[in-house]
A and B are shown apart, each in its own frame.
Chain A
Amino acid sequence: MNTIIKKEYIEKFLQQDSSLPKEVRSLIEHTEEIILYGLCDLSHDYKLEHSWIILTHKSIFVASIDHNDNYKIDLQVAINRIQKVKEVTSLSATTYLFLTSDDMSPLMSVRFTNRQKIIMGHIKYLVEQMIGEGDVDPTFDADVEYGNAILRPLLEARNNTSDKKNVVLLRLLAYLLPYKKQVIIGTAGAVMTTIISLVPAYLSGYLIDSVIRPFQDGKLTVDAASHIAWIIVASIGAILILRELFSWLRLNKMSIMGELVARDIREELYSHLQTLSLDFFSNKQTGSIISRVSSDTDRIWDFIAFGVVEVGIALITLAGLGSVLIYLDPLLGLLMVLPVPILLISIFIHGEKMKKMFLKAWRKWSDLTNVLSDTIPGISVVKAFNQEDREIGKFNNRNKLVTSEFNDIHRSWTSFWPLLMLGVHAVTLAVWSFATPRLVSSTSEEAYLSAGTFVSFLLYMTMFSTPIEIIGQMARMLNRALSSAYRIFEILDTKPTISVINNPVKLNALSGEVEFSNVSFSYDGVRKVIHNMNFVVGPGEMIGLVGTSGGGKSTLTKLIARFYDVNEGSIFIDGVNIKDLELGMYRRQVGMVLQEPYLFHGNIKDNIGYGLDNVSLDQIIEAAKIANAHDFILKLAHGYDTIVGERGHTLSGGERQRVSIARAILHGPKILILDEATSAVDTETEHKIQEALDKLIKGRTVFAVAHRLSTLRKANRIFVIDNGKICEQGTHSELLAKVDGQYSKLYTMQQQMSGNFAV
């Protein structure tokens, strides 16, 4: 996201400065380098007032605006006086107390709302690092981190880079470019349909004025009159046929093209989604991503196939009608045309009112569906507690509310449209009352109106209401399409965080050496989750990773699989920097067995063979046997053809785990990652899985994260990870020998636990 848009977002949505004000900066920067800063938007007496907190290598400053609108430094505290940063949280405010000790009043305190919480958390983290380590070595840009942190909640809710509606519309229409021919044919069809529609009414008037009247007045013979009359009827017929022909052309071309455009967008979306990092998916709800690929693209189809053209036709029709009417008879024409804007405005106002009512109805509607989505998955609880009647009551109650909301809407529109039509009729009546005296005046008078012209008029008048209605709904339709477009572009504009280089190294057969060289990593740019880590793991070595939860074990394995790129240092695989490797080829040689294995919808056979072409049934069975899965699979009625996954047969956690192990075995990865693969199952199943894993790890480089240390007895080395660092490493017995070590403490604790449980 570019900096200008970020600035605009911060200022427009959050109404705060998009970076540290220059005046403040200049007060500090001439003596000290600014590491990071944040805005405190609450005063000590809980007023929404702005002051800035600025962190340098030596001090923390607080600056605010004085009475003369000048910034001044209120406070400066040397970091080395601070012993502790205490956080006091409340529902909407957080206070940081910078303390020397608990029983002394704080050196300084700042208060802010949740909006500033991320950036302030970064500052607190850095101050604590400085207290602990003396100093920090920031690798980020203060302005960038400030902007990212402040905008994060907003961008998680809505991530599109462009805010201008016309830009989005143009971008959407650009998808039509590959289909120029269809667009031109379709548009021409639409324009022709519209113009031709205007002709029959004109011809009807002509028939009366130039044929029927002269005939009645005796100026035309029967033969001549009926000859011309037939020609006119025939041409009306021909025109109607032509009109439908053009209409077919338009509908056919546009709807097919709309479908193609929707297909293109879906294709682009789906392949783009596959390139995005895991972060993106953890920030968005699955349902929201799915609906963008499905219903949003469908709305775009609707808009392109019908919306654009309908509105176009409506506009052309109105303009055409207006000019024809004024041309036929300026006075009557104006009488007809002038009220049109009033009608449009009243439709618009009604639309706005309806929008509010729909909003209400929608709210009640989601209340109703919430009952469903709440109770249907929990139906067994409802039954167990015998709460059916209560739930039915709740449902009926909300159902009534929804119905009454919708009935309000119905009352509103059903009375509006007849009223509007009354207005239209009033115009018609006005036309009649102006026209009638002129119809019966003599031909020579200036005011004379011929019957034919009047008939044409009447026919044209009936054509007015449809385009007015369509234009009245234009705003709503456009908004719907635009919001779908926004949601789609939001995904397309999200950049993959893994960079791709031009001439990647293709390592076809890894040997499996993994080296970390001064690796540091942070998810959010400031908080380091991995600190300057160094190790070399040889091919075929098994490494056990243990340590407190949140220490960074899973992150470490994700870096090895290159789900994220490191911020500092490098990871080498077989001596090649991981960033230089061809990602696809590398990932195919890395296998992961996670705590929560995922099976795709499909049969077990395909799930085991996922991602591989040409696997023989022998291989599948072989893999399943190694994974201790063969026996339970055969107990299922359909054997390997049993459908599993979301809508299929539900396997237990341990069974799914063994299927995923069979999958990993078949893949034959050179580097294998096991992240708490046995944590979620009972002891007996764990034993089976462990057996399977023991067979799987042979001949591979393995990183195994485990809670239960007993599962790591085969490990060549064990890394104890704490706070992003390897704080101990060695073999099981080496680590046990360190009596005060974390590992031996952990081990003793687990021994006692299992001792307690084993009767």
Chain B
Amino acid sequence: MKKNIKLFMGKSGQLLFSDAQSKVDSVEVSAKQCFPWSDPDKYISLQNQSGDEVYLIKDMAKMEVATQYTLQKHLKQVQFVMDVNKLVAIEEDIELRKYDVVTKQGPRVFQTLLEDWPKVSHDGQIVLKDIAGDIFVIESVESLDKKSQKLISTYID
């Protein structure tokens, strides 16, 4: 892996990319994971403002520490989802299913379509997407209290 690419933060919080070999100035990029759910730390595409890929990082772990840190900070923003800690109620309504939850970010009520079931990934993460496109993630069934587990169980197993 080339060690000489660099990522750093600009003044307005933008992610800047520079490639020591080419003598051009740094360019503003945004990072896009190729496999955001199945392999978030590998294959990260850096794209310039017009959406063209300027570099493809194959493995984040093989990068300079400072660059890794910057990238991770950036990805944390890009990946932002709401983390559900507790379920208060799940109600079926006409055409919609209503979830009343407490997330790490605060309490929230959201709706999904009736046929949009929670998706369980292979490592046990439960992912919900509401009608506005917001994403809610339950780390695992075990991370929930008993009552929440019981509420969600109808929808996942």
Contacts and interface: CB of A to CB of B under 8 A. Distances in A.
A634 interface: no
Given A91-B79, A486-B95, A86 B132 contact: no
B154 A356 contact: yes
Interface size class of B (residues with CB under 8 A): 35 or more
B14 A153 contact: no
Interface stretch (B53-61, B64-72, B101-109, B140-148): B101-109
Contacts of A158: 94-96
A106 B9 CA distance: 13
A103 interface: yes
A544 to B, nearest CB: 29
A476 to B, nearest CB: 12
Nearest 5 A/B pairs, CB to CB: A48-B106, A158-B95, A114-B133, A115-B132, A153-B131
A338 interface: no
A99 B80 CA distance: 23
B88 to A, nearest CB: 12
B11 A48 contact: no
Interface residues of A, number: 43
Nearest to B98: A13
Given A106-B13, A158-B96, 6 more contacts: A102-B10, A103-B11, A105-B11, A109-B13, A359-B154, A486-B95
A48 B154 contact: no
Interface in B124-150: 130-135
Interface in A18-67: 42, 46-49
B94 A486 contact: yes
B135 A92 contact: yes
Nearest to B115: A366
B21 interface: no
A42 B105 contact: yes
A360 B79 contact: no
Interface of A: 13-15, 42, 46-49, 86, 88-93, 95, 97, 99, 102-106, 109, 113-115, 117, 153-154, 156-158, 160, 356, 359-360, 363, 366, 482-483, 486-487
B28 interface: yes
Contact of B81 (A91, A106, A356): A91
B131 A483 contact: no
B125 to A, nearest CB: 13
B35 interface: no
Give chain A's interface secondary structure class.
Answer: mixed
B85 interface: no
A13 B109 contact: yes
B77 interface: yes
B105 A48 contact: yes
Nearest to A16: B109
Interface in B34-51: 36
Contacts, number: 106
Contacts of B89: none
Interface of B: 10-14, 28, 30, 36, 77-82, 92, 94-96, 98, 103, 105-111, 113, 115, 117, 130-135, 154-155, 157
Nearest to A118: B132
A59 B10 CA distance: 26
A115 B134 contact: yes
A157 B113 contact: yes
A109 B77 CA distance: 14
A92 B36 CA distance: 13
A154 B105 contact: no
Contact of B80 (A91, A115, A483): A91
B110 to A, nearest CB: 8
A46 B10 contact: no
B147 to A, nearest CB: 15
Given A90-B79, A103-B10, A363 B96 contact: no
Contact of B13 (A14, A92, A97, A156): A97
Nearest to A12: B109
A419 B110 CA distance: 40
B118 to A, nearest CB: 10
Nearest to B106: A48
Nearest to B95: A158
Contacts of A104: 11-12
A93 B98 CA distance: 21
Contacts of A97: 12-13
A104, A154, A156: which has the most chain B beta carbons within 10 Å? Answer: A154
Contacts of B28: 102
Contacts of B117: 363
A157 B107 contact: no
A154 B98 CA distance: 11
Given A359-B154, A487-B95, A15 B109 contact: yes
Contact of B132 (A95, A99, A114, A363): A114
A522 to B, nearest CB: 21
Contacts of A115: 110, 130, 132, 134
A482 B66 CA distance: 60
B109 A91 contact: no
Nearest to A105: B11
A487 B94 contact: yes
Contacts of B105: 42, 46-48
Contacts of A89: 78
Nearest to B133: A114
Given A48-B106, A91-B80, A363-B117, A157 B11 contact: no
Q: Find the residue from B36, B78, B80, B103 having the highest chain A CB count within 10 A.
A: B80
Given A86-B12, A105-B12, A153-B132, A48 B94 contact: no
A48 B12 contact: no
A442 B110 CA distance: 71
A90 B78 contact: yes
Contacts of A117: 132-133
Contacts of B132: 113-115, 117, 153
A158 to B, nearest CB: 4
A154 B78 CA distance: 25
12 contacts: A13-B98, A42-B105, A48-B105, A88-B77, A92-B135, A102-B12, A115-B110, A117-B132, A158-B95, A359-B92, A359-B154, A487-B94
A483 to B, nearest CB: 5
Q: B12, B79, B98: which has the most chain A beta carbons within 10 Å?
A: B12
B131 to A, nearest CB: 4
Nearest to B15: A88
Contacts of A15: 108-109
A157 B155 contact: no
A154 B154 contact: no
Contact of A47 (B11, B106, B111, B133): B106
A106 B12 CA distance: 6
Given A47-B106, A158-B94, A91 B78 contact: yes
Nearest to A367: B117
B94 A483 contact: yes
Contacts of B82: 48, 92, 113
A24 B77 CA distance: 30
Nearest to A97: B12
B111 A157 contact: yes
A363 B155 contact: yes
B71 to A, nearest CB: 14
B131 A46 contact: no
B102 to A, nearest CB: 10
Contacts of B94: 158, 160, 482-483, 486-487
Contacts of A88: 13, 30, 77
A568 B154 CA distance: 52
A482 to B, nearest CB: 8
B77 A14 contact: no
A92 B80 CA distance: 6
A360 B154 contact: yes
A99 B12 CA distance: 8
Residue from B77, B105, B106, B157 with most neighbouring chain A CB atoms (10 Å): B105
A48 B103 contact: yes
Contact of A93 (B30, B80, B109, B157): B80
A46 B81 CA distance: 10
B139 to A, nearest CB: 16
A98 to B, nearest CB: 10
